[in-house]
């Protein structure tokens, strides 16, 4: 009887705890002044880490401010933010510096990245050519977010695709980096593209 009493008093097994969400590293890249810091800040669920410094007269001969004369600060290392997509996925966002003299940091930031968003300033699409080339050469999947400054999108997505000579599998989305929902939609499109690529690879 004593044994049966002890058995009755034994604690019941608890349901297993939910698995921790999968963490994925995503880069937000593009040319100088295309809106990378703005996108990370608009979508991050935590206070974003920023490494911005004021633009100075010493950089006038180095940084091309054509079309972005109003810019007053620039990222010198990286931006960092985080967003949870559903219950099973957390994206860690790393914004790259845009000026050419800081591009050496992109190789380190790209380590472990599952994918990237290449932001394009619709007024200066050529400023993001280098970012497209960077990810294509390294085989890192990416989508293109066409950031419409002041909410304007004078060119459809397909014209931007043609201008950047992008293959059909790369998604091109019109967006506004200032808006959380718009930025989130670009990230979700990247995740969908990664899932589609993985499913295609598994089927082949």
Q: Of 101, 153, 119, 106, give the one whose Cα is nearest residue 37.
A: 119
For residues 103 and 77, the model is more confident at: 103
Contact of 164 with 144, CB cutoff 8 Å: yes
pLDDT digits (tens, 9 = 90+) for 156-180: 999 999 989 999 999 999 999 999 9
Q: What is the mean pLDDT of residues 181-192?
A: 96
pLDDT of residue 103: 75
* Residues counted in the chain: 204
What is the four-CA torsion angle of 62, 139, 29, 124, rounded to 10 degrees? 70
For the stretch 46-102, pLDDT in tens is 998 876 555 444 444 444 545 444 544 555 458 899 999 888 899 999 999 877 767
pLDDT > 60? residue 38: yes
Confidence at 127, pLDDT banded by 50, 70, 90: confident
The model's confidence at residue 188, banded by pLDDT at 50, 70 and 90, is very high
Question: For the chain, how are helix, strand and coil distributed in percent, rounded to 5?
Answer: 40, 25, 40
Distance, in Å, from the CA atom of 140 to the CA atom of 183, rounded to the nearest integer, reads 20
**Residue 43 pLDDT greater than 50, yes or no:** yes
Asked if residues 85 and 45 have their Cβ atoms less than 8 Å apart, the reply is no
Q: Is the pLDDT of residue 190 over 80?
A: yes
Query: pTM of the prediction?
Result: 0.78
Distances (CA, A) of 43 to 59, 70, 118, 120, 132: 30, 23, 16, 17, 22
Candidates 121, 161, 96, 134; CA nearest to 35 is 121
CA angle 100, 102, 105 (to 5 degrees): 125
Q: What percent of the chain has pLDDT over 70?
A: 76
Does residue 113 carry a pLDDT above 50?
yes
The answer to whether 189 touches 143, Cβ cutoff 8 Å, is yes
């Amino acid at each position: 009887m004593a044994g049966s009493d002890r058995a009755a008093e034994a604690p019941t097994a608890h349901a297993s705890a939910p698995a921790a969400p999968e963490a994925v590293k995503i880069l937000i890249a593009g040319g100088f002044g295309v809106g990378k810091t703005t996108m990370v800040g608009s979508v991050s669920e935590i206070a974003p880490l920023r490494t911005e410094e004021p633009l100075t007269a010493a950089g006038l001969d180095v940084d091309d401010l054509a079309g972005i004369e109003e810019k007053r600060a620039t990222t010198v290392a990286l931006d960092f933010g985080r967003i949870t997509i559903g219950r099973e996925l957390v994206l860690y966002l790393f914004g790259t510096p845009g000026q050419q003299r800081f591009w050496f940091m992109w190789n380190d930031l790209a380590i472990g990245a599952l994918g990237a968003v290449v932001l394009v300033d619709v007024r200066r699409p050529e400023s993001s050519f280098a970012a497209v080339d960077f990810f294509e050469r390294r085989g890192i999947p990416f989508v293109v977010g066409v950031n419409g400054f002041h909410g304007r999108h004078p060119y459809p997505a397909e014209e931007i695709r043609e201008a950047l000579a992008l293959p059909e599998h790369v998604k091109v989305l019109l967006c506004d980096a200032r808006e959380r929902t718009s930025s989130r939609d670009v990230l979700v499109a990247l995740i969908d593209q990664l899932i589609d690529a993985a499913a295609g690879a598994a089927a082949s």
